[in-house]
């Protein structure tokens, strides 16, 4: 995989929780490794996963149609990232009782609630959001990426969490590097792909979401 554009930087303004939004997902928890470039521990966040920490590390994800919210308590320097898309079945993210809106709300709240458990306060939170590209074939007329981008912005406004940076929509996938203790984000646009990994991964995630049922705080796969 080659990247052909520069990197955009969104500057910065112990405990770790990792998890999967998909209880039946084969992905499990985010994988962790040592990043030689940044010389620190890293976690790779796949679709349907989230990660929150107060440690000096980098959270990495690749986004096509999915979106990622990077949320930080700017006073405690605790932060986390999620990675999700809305289910296309009954897709009406503006209807708060629709299945897609309830799943999106769940994906946001599970990260926010974990940060609160770690000591963060909503009034100290800032968010940076990314993704929502139109990269999945067959979604051109009713872009799932656009629906994801619209949902995350509307959710943050409704919850009065300040959105201080965004890089949304477009036609190219993005690779995101998020440093949760500082709030710094690096975004790299992927303009040339030599394989179909991103599209295949998100298409498989979309298929799993077609069978998900969200009720309260519990998510069950049929």
Q: Catalytic residues, which ones?
A: 66
Rg (C-alpha) for the chain, rounded Å, is 16
Neighbours of 160 (CB within 10 A): 9
- Closest to 111 in 3D by CA, of 184, 190, 20, 43: 20
CB 103 within 8 A of CB 86: yes
- Closest to 73 in 3D by CA, of 123, 118, 124: 124
Question: Residue 2 has which token pair?
Answer: 């080659």
Number of helices and strands (H, E) in the chain?
3, 14
Residue 45: CA atoms inside 13 Å, Cβ hemisphere, count? 31
State residue 121 phi and psi, 5-degree precision. Answer: -125, 140
Question: Residue 71 has which token pair?
Answer: 């949320």
- Closest to 206 in 3D by CA, of 118, 89, 115, 112: 89
Question: Residue 57 has which token pair?
Answer: 């590390």
Task: Give dist(CA 183, CA 94) in Å, integer.
Answer: 29
């Amino acid at each position: 995989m080659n990247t052909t554009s520069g990197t955009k930087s969104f500057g910065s303004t112990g405990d770790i929780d990792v998890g999967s939004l998909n209880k039946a997902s084969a992905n499990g928890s985010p994988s962790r490794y040592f990043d030689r470039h940044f010389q620190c521990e890293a976690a790779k966040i796949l679709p349907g996963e989230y990660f929150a920490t107060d440690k000096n590390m980098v959270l990495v994800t690749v986004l096509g149609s999915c979106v990622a919210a990077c949320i930080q308590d700017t006073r405690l320097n605790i932060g986390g990232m999620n990675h999700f898309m809305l289910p296309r079945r009954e897709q009406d993210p503006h209807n708060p009782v629709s299945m897609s809106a309830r799943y999106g709300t769940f994906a946001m709240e599970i990260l926010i609630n974990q940060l609160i458990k770690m000591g963060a306060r909503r009034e100290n939170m800032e968010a940076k959001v990314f993704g929502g590209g139109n990269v999945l074939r067959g979604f051109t007329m009713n872009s799932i990426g656009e629906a994801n981008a619209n949902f995350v912005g509307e959710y943050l406004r409704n919850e009065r969490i300040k959105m201080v940076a965004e890089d949304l929509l477009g036609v190219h996938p993005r690779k995101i590097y998020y440093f949760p203790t500082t709030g710094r984000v690096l975004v790299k646009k992927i303009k040339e792909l030599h394989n179909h990994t991103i599209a295949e991964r998100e298409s498989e995630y979309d298929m799993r979401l077609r069978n998900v049922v969200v009720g309260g705080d519990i998510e069950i796969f049929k």
